[in-house]
Amino acid sequence: MIMKYRDILAFLLAGIWVNVSEFFRNEYLLKSFWVNHFTSHGMIFPSEPINGIIWLVWGFLFSAAMYYISRKYNLLQTVLISWFMGFVLMWLVTINLNAFPVSILIYAVPLSLLETFIGSFICLKVSPN
């Protein structure tokens, strides 16, 4: 599959959206949940630049997955498959490691669905399949 300009643009715009959404949600809306959770376990919340870089890479990999899923599926299917792969599986692992403050799920579920919906919409709108 040869990527065209619109394909690359869709991937980049979706990746920018995902990263802005993640940063806003986790640094402004939910940071206290994260810090309190880590503190309650005698740990320091990891907020070094390398952690931010790794999350930036995650955001672009997530947008790449959304883009490729959007090539075969409609908007609703792309959102649900992407959201399950990107968030539900990550949450299961981090909950299992006791590294996830479960109390944020009430906020994280709808916000992550919105993030995934808009990212999927960008992929399908900018580069229709």
User: In this predicted structure, what is the pLDDT of residue 1?
Assistant: 58
- pTM of the predicted model as reported, rounded to 2 decimal places: 0.93
Structure confidence by residue, pLDDT tens digits, 60-92: 999 999 999 999 999 999 999 999 999 999 999
Report whether 79 contacts 117 (CB < 8 A): yes
Q: How far apart are CA 15 and CA 102, in angstroms?
A: 26
Which residue stretches of 1-128 are H helix?
A: 5-23, 31-40, 49-70, 75-83, 89-96, 105-126
